[in-house]
Homo-oligomer: A and B are copies of this chain.
């Protein structure tokens, strides 16, 4: 099944736009509709009227998607088959070019007392500049022999560790005990293939402990050991030359992992439009990411999420002027402002193009979309529909 598209893909001049409003999905309460229901979206409604709507389940029923899973699914990769772990996402998030075979882990600077017991798992939310100074100090002094390592500041107490070399394995246990008053855990191999890697990590931590002696942040906790999933690229899988346009590093990183080109950060909706116009002649597939919907949802700010949706709606006519053959607007998961976090609730989508039938839906929101031409589908099935509607899939069988 997963080779099906590689087999059926066929070249075309058509252009596909996928607009992702991060955390778009919300939910109705007895008192009020979802943010999308309440938003005034004349341009999205026009797409709904002329195209087909539906709702998608991102990973599996009842399963709340992380950002990596949500986007992989929208890109047509089954997130249950290809997992993006915390290490790979962190690398993506700071624009680190993680390579095949690298092992990445999430790092917390922490503080140990004289007995080696954890007193603060975040080292007092270390200032970012301190983090940078300490990362540099460790990079200058530690040495892992044949294994190259990278230690990159993320923000405050968070950093990224990447090991690069022969025969590394991500099957190493977390060292963060998720409690204070106890000592950090020793990194252990989950199976014997990881014995060398676990030893290398222990060696790294031993050296680090000495290097950081006397500092306020005097040790590191590691979790989420991870490698880059062996993802067939967008080009290999679909024959698409894709571009990812996003202002947040993590989403640019995920697009890069799927093999899209990623220009430098697009600042706001104006920057997004400019990047879209500049990329238009050179790319077949334009992934456009809008973060503000999710941020508002996470802050529990219903009205701000409504406004973030309306902003995208207002920008839509400019996108349509570029004359995409197929456009799909949706979210990568729900972030209902009532819940202030990601949720598992199905997300509305609308798809528009000359080979996409009109259905009887006339507005863009979860309830209308559920009655739409697509009904209820899995997120990973949106991509095949976009490809088909863009004339990019051949017939199956004679």
Contact = CB atoms under 8 A, between A and B. Distances in A.
Interface of A: 1, 4, 8, 27-30, 34, 49-50, 55, 59-69, 79-80, 83-86, 89, 224, 336, 339, 342-345, 355, 357-360, 366-367, 370-371, 373, 375-377, 381, 383-389, 393-398
**Looking at chain A's contact residues, is the secondary structure mostly helix, strand, loop, or mixed?**
loop
Contacts of A393: 62-64, 344
Contacts of A396: 59-60, 63-66, 69, 79
A367 B359 contact: yes
Contacts of A360: 367
A366 to B, nearest CB: 8
A65 B1 contact: no
Nearest to A64: B395
Contact of A29 (B28, B357, B386): B357
Given A59-B397, A367-B373, 8 more contacts: A4-B63, A27-B357, A30-B49, A30-B50, A62-B381, A62-B389, A84-B398, A89-B398
A34 B65 CA distance: 37
Given A339-B355, A355-B343, A65 B398 contact: no
B370 A345 contact: no
Given A358-B28, A384-B63, A396-B66, A370 B377 contact: no
A398 B28 contact: no
Residue from the set A30, A366, A373, A375 with the largest chain B CB neighbour count within 10 Å: A373
Residue from the set A360, A384, A395, A398 with the largest chain B CB neighbour count within 10 Å: A398
> Which 8 A-B pairs give the minimum distances between C-beta atoms?
A62-B384, A27-B357, A66-B397, A86-B398, A62-B388, A61-B381, A69-B397, A375-B376
21 contacts: A4-B60, A27-B358, A28-B357, A61-B377, A61-B385, A62-B386, A62-B388, A63-B393, A65-B396, A68-B398, A69-B397, A79-B396, A83-B397, A84-B398, A85-B397, A224-B398, A343-B355, A357-B366, A367-B373, A370-B375, A371-B371
Contacts of A29: 357-358
A110 B345 CA distance: 56
Contacts of A66: 395-398
A383 B62 CA distance: 8
A366 B27 CA distance: 23
B65 A397 contact: yes
Residue from the set A60, A339, A360 with the largest chain B CB neighbour count within 10 Å: A60
A62 B395 contact: no
A50 B27 CA distance: 12
A84 B395 CA distance: 13
A359 B28 contact: yes
A4 B78 CA distance: 14
A344 to B, nearest CB: 5
A386 B62 CA distance: 8
